[in-house]
Chain A
Amino acid sequence: MAKMKFLCDSERCIECNGCVTACKNANETEWGIQRRRVVTLDDGEPTETSISVACMHCTDAPCMAVCPTDCFYQTDDGIVLHDKDLCIGCGYCLFACPFGAPQFPTEGAFGERGKMDKCTFCAGGPEEDPIVEKEKYGANRIKEGKLPLCAEMCSTKALLAGDAQVVSDIFRERVVYRGHKDGAWSSLEGGAATPGQMSQEEMAARAEAFATDATFASNTKGDIIAKA
């Protein structure tokens, strides 16, 4: 069974906020709710790095562990969803979430929180009627066999979504093609391999050896630069 994960390649993210817009458009979230955001650290410095972040659909999800109503559940694909009918707006998921994903709309009287809203991996929520589901939880693209729109629309393919194994294969392949010393992981066998020292053929061979997914074996060397 697939385990759905997001991964944002910080080397590719250009802070275009396309994912943010795509998410907002696909899910038509309420005013003030932004399920996905791009955070840029060291803005304007040489070390400037941007990462797009939303609910990461943790395997051991802290929100699930602290929710007083037990409104969270994990699909067979490892997507963390929640039942808005059960949610009481206590905010505990927000206190626990590592990524600041849960958000609460429309402050009621005395600032009371509304029903929590967060990224659903474009997998909708627990509602039979598709129209109600769309209104309450946003798009259910997974049911249609599609991946989350944020990742699908990412212009630089920095944001990857899908089965953890496939996503990590793609990322690892990129790292190898980028060819820096140790390929970022010092456990790689072989000596020094920096871009200037390694031929394209060699990079391809190395990437192939490390990609566990068979589809990567058919890569031609023409794609190599594009892949990094």
Chain B
Amino acid sequence: MNTYTTQTGSTLRGARSTGISPVQRLKMVAISLLALLCLTLSSTLWASTEASDAENRVKGNFAGAGYWREVSDGTEGYTTSKGREHGKLINVSGETWRDWRNRWVSPGGLYAIGGSLGLLTLVYLLIGPLKLDKPRTGKVVERWKRFDRTMHWFVAITFLILGFSGFLIMYGKHFVPDLFGYTFWKNLIAFCKLAHNYIGPIFSLGLIVMLISWMKHNFFNKVDLKWFLQGGGIIGNKHPSAGFLNGGEKGWYWLLFFGGLTVVGSGLVLDFPIFGQLRDTMQWANLIHGVSSLLLLAASFGHIYIGTIGSEGALEGMKTGYVDETWAKQHHDLWYEEVKDQAVDEKEVR
């Protein structure tokens, strides 16, 4: 005991008289950092590697490994706060969510959107818009009824508003404030959030009605298989046969069916935080919502391209409801055979 005391004493005196070496200083910094870390953060390292050892050593002196294990397991304690999940000291999954969102979903979405836009630009520049192969006949057939068109544009417009506001919620902070200033950004992002929250459920209704009423057209058949084998006309020089909807259109339908319903479901979880859903649920919903909506957004560019500048005569169908016979014969020959006797003169319907 005595020897020990003397030893320690002399060591300490020695250290003080000669000053503190850089190594010791480093050690002190390390120790102080460790002190902060131990009390403020749940340390999984602490819990796993030295668990039993450390637990015995510090028992009764301050919160030991057993305590931190409980904290990092998300055990609820007692608190007077009535805030949701306030009994939990540490939000265990928060950092994982942050990592997934910021490191994967956010850049991944940019790659998807950028890739889609880049690919379409390449297609436009290298292949160019698909022209009608024969002159127009001046006779048209009805393709989309008024109800179909209303649904389409209702869903399309709400989709674009949601896509735009969602994009800004995800990426806006990286460029809008720098380009347009604080006040503009403040108002824009507030509007985006409101638009996203209120138009979301309206979009959901439109999407569901549209999916239900168009489902009958969208079951795949052998014709579609051939359509896909020919790459929708890219492989070989003959335009593949198609019924009322071709394979690509059906593919877009089913993407909207599964992707769209996923976006809608996860979005509603986030939109109405009044049903007792906890942080974990909302973290998952957020990730699922982000991934599926960004993929849908990227895919929608393809649909928009083909429907507008990508293929001559396609937009007319959704605008007026009628398409020219030439277009119908070229793109949907099997369907045209069914309805060609209903063709009317263009002047009668416009």
Residues of chain A at the chain B interface (Cβ within 8 Å):
5-11, 17, 20, 32, 34, 37-43, 47, 49, 51, 53, 56, 62, 65-70, 85-86, 88-92, 94-100, 103, 107, 110-113, 164-165, 167-169, 171-172, 175, 178, 180-182, 184-187, 189-191, 197, 199, 202, 205-206, 208-210, 212
Which of B34, B62, B83, B102 contacts A37 (CB under 8 A)?
A: B83
In this complex, how many residues of chain B approach chain A with their Cβ under 8 Å: the count is: 74
Tell me, rounded to whole Å, the shortest Cβ–Cβ distance linking A12 to chain B: 9
- Decide if B87 is an interface residue (CB 8 Å cutoff): yes
Q: Which of B3-11, B114-122, B245-253, B329-337 contacts A (4 or more CB under 8 A)?
A: B3-11
A197→B283 CA distance, assembly (Å) = 51
20 contacts between A and B (CB under 8 A): A9-B62, A10-B39, A39-B89, A47-B67, A56-B40, A62-B94, A62-B98, A67-B173, A86-B189, A96-B97, A98-B91, A98-B94, A110-B274, A113-B273, A165-B32, A168-B36, A184-B61, A189-B11, A197-B1, A206-B12
A91→B277 CA distance, assembly (Å) = 12
Pairwise interchain contact B91-A7, C-beta atoms closer than 8 A: no
A-facing residues in B71-112 (Cβ within 8 Å): 71, 75, 77-83, 85-91, 94-95, 97-98, 101-102
Residue of B nearest to A44 (CB): B78
Pairwise interchain contact A185-B173, C-beta atoms closer than 8 A: no
Known: A41-B71, A65-B98. A53 touches B35 (CB 8 A): no
Pairwise interchain contact B66-A47, C-beta atoms closer than 8 A: yes
Residues of chain B at the chain A interface (Cβ within 8 Å):
1, 4-5, 7-9, 11-12, 15-16, 27-28, 30-36, 39-42, 57-58, 61-63, 66-67, 70-71, 75, 77-83, 85-91, 94-95, 97-98, 101-102, 169-170, 172-173, 177, 185-186, 189-190, 192-193, 197, 270-274, 279, 282-283, 286
Pairwise interchain contact A39-B79, C-beta atoms closer than 8 A: yes
Tell me, rounded to whole Å, the shortest Cβ–Cβ distance linking A88 to chain B: 4
Output the residue of B177, B185, B186 with the most chain A CB within 10 A: B186
| Nearest 7 CB-CB pairings of A with B | A111-B274, A37-B81, A168-B32, A10-B63, A41-B77, A88-B193, A70-B173
Q: A-B contact count, CB below 8 Å?
A: 197
A208→B97 CA distance, assembly (Å) = 43
Pairwise interchain contact B8-A70, C-beta atoms closer than 8 A: no
Which of A42, A88, A172, A185 contacts B70 (CB under 8 A)?
A: A42
Pairwise interchain contact A37-B79, C-beta atoms closer than 8 A: yes
Residue of B nearest to A217 (CB): B16
Pairwise interchain contact B193-A89, C-beta atoms closer than 8 A: yes
A169→B28 CA distance, assembly (Å) = 10
Pairwise interchain contact B57-A182, C-beta atoms closer than 8 A: yes
Residue of B nearest to A34 (CB): B81
With a cutoff of 8 Å between Cβ atoms, the chain A residues found around residue B273 in the complex are 91, 111, 113
A70→B87 CA distance, assembly (Å) = 28
With a cutoff of 8 Å between Cβ atoms, the chain A residues found around residue B34 in the complex are 185
A65→B16 CA distance, assembly (Å) = 44
Pairwise interchain contact A112-B197, C-beta atoms closer than 8 A: yes
Which of A88, A103, A202 contacts B83 (CB under 8 A)?
A: A103
